[in-house]
Homo-oligomer: A and B are copies of this chain.
Amino acid sequence: MLNLNFHPAGRHFLGIPGPSPVPDRLLRAMSYPTIDHRGPEFGALGRQVLQGLAAVFRTQHPVVVYPSSGTGAWEAALVNTLSPGDQVLMYETGHFASLWHRMALRLGLQPEFLGLPGAQGWRHGVDAGRIADRLRADTGHAIKAVCVVHNETSTGVTSDIPAVRRAIDAAGHPALLMVDTISSLACVDYRHDEWGVDVTVSGSQKGLMLPPGISFNALSPKALAASKSARLPRSYWGWDEILESNKTGYWPYTPNTNLLYALSEALQMLQAEGLPNVFARHARLGEACRAAVRAWGLEIQCADPKLYSPVLTGVVMPEGVDADRVRDLIWRRFNLSLGTGLGKVKGRMFRIGHLGDCNDLSLLAAVGGCEMGLKLAGVRVRESGTAAAMEHLAATGSELRAG
């Protein structure tokens, strides 16, 4: 029988780019006793959570909450707004963009997948110019939606969403704009309303610091209008009944009560820290991590410095080194989990997560564990990345507590 309670001495360092480390405070909130999901206390909880979410998505419009993985929220975005055979324009930035593309195919849509050949696109962000060009060519407006990933978790590239919005507007095209923010929400600045996004897809287990199991669709009035005539079949994902129930703080089917407790707590934590501070913390830890990779003399998976992700850093291995062997050695030796290379970059790189409930010393532990592991695996590193990270951390940042 597996002993789930077993771990080697000392705390495990969870350095994957999500699920991110769940703060003890959220674990405690998750353990509040389950209450009647039709009782008055629940309604108050529901209303509070929905209001708090709107502030995080930066929207005045509804946010729909699903008891599901983030993958479910992708599906919800598509089936609520589109009809069988609809064309959608997607952009290959990495593994998760590819999975969303495959989902569109499975649901009977006609997705078109822009991007660079081979694995080239996996080192870059969305090229808004190509989207503009493609939409201009679509004079018949057959394309119903543009779908892009804000922060590509498989590569560590954060695309420029306002640029995509401007591209659509420049083309004068009516397509809906759908954005996956599963790994960027509450880590990177994001503005659903101001940036003119129609459906924002997100999840619980990254910047919101929860365990996986809750996902989101933030809506625009245009998306809501589209849902009235969209003909893909939908029931579980249907916005209509959820929005109706949400008016009083309830859900049409049994919600994920205990995760909603944790969500309520997480929203309070984010509000207390202040979103701009949260974003600055992520940016600073990301830069410290990249300073380490540069010092090691290794390549960062993201080839465009303007698009470096504050959420995770992809570390490319030298030719001939199996990234998963390094990763596995680090896990077995230093009790540190790193993200595997996915899809086209499997074995070529690993990923260091620096998101959610992280701080200077948790980053330092991750970087130090990587550095020792790289050496033990025989990967030649130029100089100490740990020293470089410490230099950045010491030179920036401020006191966490009053003096």
A344 at the interface (CB under 8 A from B): no
A376 at the interface (CB under 8 A from B): yes
- Quick check: A107 and B235 within 8 Å, CB to CB? yes
Stretch at the interface among A116-124, A257-265, A303-311: A257-265
**Given contacts A212-B254, A213-B256, A29 and B4 within 8 Å (CB-CB):** yes
Stretch at the interface among A161-169, A170-178, A190-198, A393-401: A393-401
* Chain B residues, Cβ within 8 Å of A74: 236
Q: Pick the residue among B34, B233, B256 that contacts A108 (CB under 8 A).
A: B233
What mask results when residues 266 to 308 of chain A are scored 1 for a CB within 8 Å of chain B, else 0?
Answer: 0010001100001001000000000000000000000000000
- Quick check: A236 and B337 within 8 Å, CB to CB? no
Q: Pick the residue among B8, B36, B106, B339 that contacts A235 (CB under 8 A).
A: B106
A372 at the interface (CB under 8 A from B): yes
**Given contacts A67-B69, A71-B254, A9 and B361 within 8 Å (CB-CB):** no
* Chain B residues, Cβ within 8 Å of A7: 25
**Given contacts A68-B72, A369-B361, A401 and B256 within 8 Å (CB-CB):** no
A28 at the interface (CB under 8 A from B): yes
> Smallest Cβ distance from A14 to chain B, in angstroms?
7
**Given contacts A10-B358, A364-B369, A234 and B68 within 8 Å (CB-CB):** no
A205 at the interface (CB under 8 A from B): yes
A209's closest neighbor in chain B, by CB? B9
A246 at the interface (CB under 8 A from B): no
**Residue in A16, A36, A232 whose Cβ sees the most chain B Cβ within 10 Å:** A36
* Chain B residues, Cβ within 8 Å of A232: 233
- Quick check: B368 and A386 within 8 Å, CB to CB? yes
Q: Please give the number of chain A residues whose Cβ is less than 8 angstroms from any Cβ of chain B in the complex.
A: 120
**Given contacts A236-B68, A261-B4, A400-B332, A33 and B44 within 8 Å (CB-CB):** no
* Chain B residues, Cβ within 8 Å of A40: 401
Inter-chain CA distance A258–B210, complex, in Å, is 10
- Quick check: B369 and A360 within 8 Å, CB to CB? yes
* Chain B residues, Cβ within 8 Å of A69: 67, 236, 253-256
Inter-chain CA distance A273–B390, complex, in Å, is 33
- Quick check: A399 and B72 within 8 Å, CB to CB? no
A31 at the interface (CB under 8 A from B): yes
A205's closest neighbor in chain B, by CB? B254
What mask results when residues 102 to 122 of chain A are scored 1 for a CB within 8 Å of chain B, else 0?
Answer: 110011100000000000000
Inter-chain CA distance A34–B357, complex, in Å, is 13
A75 at the interface (CB under 8 A from B): yes
A378 at the interface (CB under 8 A from B): no
**Residue in A71, A256, A332 whose Cβ sees the most chain B Cβ within 10 Å:** A256
> Smallest Cβ distance from A166 to chain B, in angstroms?
30
* Chain B residues, Cβ within 8 Å of A61: none
- Quick check: A358 and B212 within 8 Å, CB to CB? no
> Smallest Cβ distance from A369 to chain B, in angstroms?
5
**20 interchain pairs, CB-CB under 8 A:** A11-B24, A13-B361, A19-B254, A30-B258, A39-B331, A67-B212, A103-B235, A106-B233, A106-B234, A203-B254, A212-B257, A213-B213, A213-B259, A233-B233, A328-B403, A332-B400, A364-B365, A364-B368, A368-B368, A372-B393
Known: A24-B32, A27-B30; 4 extra A-B contacts, CB below 8 A, are A10-B358, A69-B255, A71-B253, A211-B258
